[in-house]
């Protein structure tokens, strides 16, 4: 499902990260950094709530808005029952919708928010996402104290919160069009190889977006997927070539390979993941380039792995989904 927008703009955005994000190449562009994973809270879950809340606070301040000026908050995260989002939402008292698109949540939220603004139901809103390395590891994999070794295809859940303020007020970045993804099954069962799980979903959505908009990859200065990681990125390049005869070319990159220094930060293995990943990379690194006109048109292609530990134990394959949103620099 692809459609276009008339009057929706990205006016402001804010990112909050942890120690690993601080040490990565995008570190200097992150608005606020905590040097410990607890973010001065007692638990990892409460640290995630704090980082998400901080990012909402920051984007409100940058936008010179009070929470009471905001029509709607849409937020998603990986914690069971999407609790980071719900608990962060309380203190702002903004009408709230929780969403779940796994690591595709940021673009799912931006599509929903942009659609409501463009359809004149609301005038503005904030879309937020968060993830936390330790709260995720604890929930999805092994008790972290085990120190279980992982294969090189495993990715590293990013830590922090990111929020973006969208409105019908003209800004430097226009939301131009979007494509809503479908659930894809590539019969993958390995939770340590999410890149392989999600690459086909990204490929399917990119292909449908280009078809629906009658465009080629050359119409974008940047196609940014996430969070596929080193191996998923290569799988997607191959998949696009073999399945659709499309060469993703030099303007393609994956946010999972950009958040950390893959050579120095060896613990991240195949790269970054988590709902925060593509949000942090695009907000801190890509949006400023759009605002300065260094990039004219960008396609964000967020990818999510749809599964739960329970379904993996029941020998079900891990499904995936990907949503895309096209952003343009306004002169």
Whichever of 250 and 315 has its CB closer to a copy of itself, that residue is 315
Taking Cα atoms as reference points, which of 261, 158, 243 lies closest to residue 199?
243
Taking Cα atoms as reference points, which of 107, 112, 74, 118 lies closest to residue 92?
74
Nearest 5°: phi and psi at 194? -65, -30
Taking Cα atoms as reference points, which of 108, 109, 14, 104 lies closest to residue 53?
14
Whichever of 72 and 284 has its CB closer to a copy of itself, that residue is 72
Q: How far is the CB of 253 from a copy of itself (least distance, A)?
A: 25
Residue with tokens 């709902």: 275
Whichever of 21 and 54 has its CB closer to a copy of itself, that residue is 54
54 vs 219: CA distance, rounded Å: 36
Q: How far is the CB of 168 from a copy of itself (least distance, A)?
A: 12
Strands 124-131 and 160-167: antiparallel
Q: How far is the CB of 289 from a copy of itself (least distance, A)?
A: 28
Whichever of 25 and 317 has its CB closer to a copy of itself, that residue is 317
Q: Are 190 and 307 in contact (CB under 8 A)?
A: no
Whichever of 87 and 231 has its CB closer to a copy of itself, that residue is 87
305 vs 197: CA distance, rounded Å: 7
Q: How far is the CB of 96 from a copy of itself (least distance, A)?
A: 5
Residues in contact with a copy of itself by CB under 8 A are 1, 3, 42-43, 45-46, 71-72, 76, 78-83, 86-87, 89-90, 93-102, 108, 112, 115-116, 118-122, 139, 180-185, 306-311, 314, 316, 319, 321
Whichever of 72 and 237 has its CB closer to a copy of itself, that residue is 72
Taking Cα atoms as reference points, which of 246, 269, 248, 271 lies closest to residue 259?
271
Q: How far is the CB of 179 from a copy of itself (least distance, A)?
A: 8
Q: How far is the CB of 47 from a copy of itself (least distance, A)?
A: 12
Strands 222-226 and 252-254: parallel
């Amino acid at each position: 499902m692809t459609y276009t927008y008339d009057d929706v703009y990205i006016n402001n955005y804010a990112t909050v990260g942890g120690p690993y994000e601080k040490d990565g190449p995008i570190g200097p562009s992150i608005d606020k950094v905590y040097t410990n994973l607890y973010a001065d809270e007692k638990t990892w879950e409460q640290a995630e709530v704090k980082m998400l809340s901080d990012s909402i606070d920051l984007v409100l301040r940058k936008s010179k808005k009070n929470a009471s000026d905001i029509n709607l908050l849409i937020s998603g995260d990986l914690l069971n029952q999407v609790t980071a989002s719900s608990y962060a939402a309380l203190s702002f008292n903004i009408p709230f919708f929780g969403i779940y698109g796994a690591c595709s949540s940021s673009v799912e939220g931006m599509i929903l928010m942009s659609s409501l603004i463009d359809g004149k139901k609301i005038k503005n809103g904030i879309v937020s996402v968060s993830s936390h390395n330790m709260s995720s590891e604890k929930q999805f994999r092994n008790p972290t104290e085990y120190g279980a070794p992982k294969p090189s295809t495993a990715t590293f859940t990013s830590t922090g919160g990111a929020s973006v303020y969208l409105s019908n007020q003209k800004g430097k970045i226009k939301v131009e069009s979007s494509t809503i993804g479908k659930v894809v099954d590539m019969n993958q069962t390995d939770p340590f190889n999410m890149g392989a799980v999600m690459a086909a979903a990204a490929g399917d959505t990119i292909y449908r977006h280009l078809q629906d908009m009658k465009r080629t990859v050359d119409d974008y200065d940047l196609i940014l997927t996430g969070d596929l990681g080193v191996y998923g990125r290569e799988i997607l390049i191959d998949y696009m070539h073999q399945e659709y005869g499309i060469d993703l070319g030099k303007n393609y990159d994956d946010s999972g390979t950009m958040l950390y220094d893959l050579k120095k930060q060896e613990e991240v293995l195949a790269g970054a993941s988590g709902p925060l990943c593509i949000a942090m990379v695009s907000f801190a690194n890509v949006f400023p380039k759009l605002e300065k006109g260094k990039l004219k048109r960008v396609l964000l292609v967020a990818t999510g792995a749809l599964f739960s530990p329970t379904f993996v134990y029941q020998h079900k394959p891990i499904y995936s989904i990907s949503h895309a949103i096209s952003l343009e620099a306004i002169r």
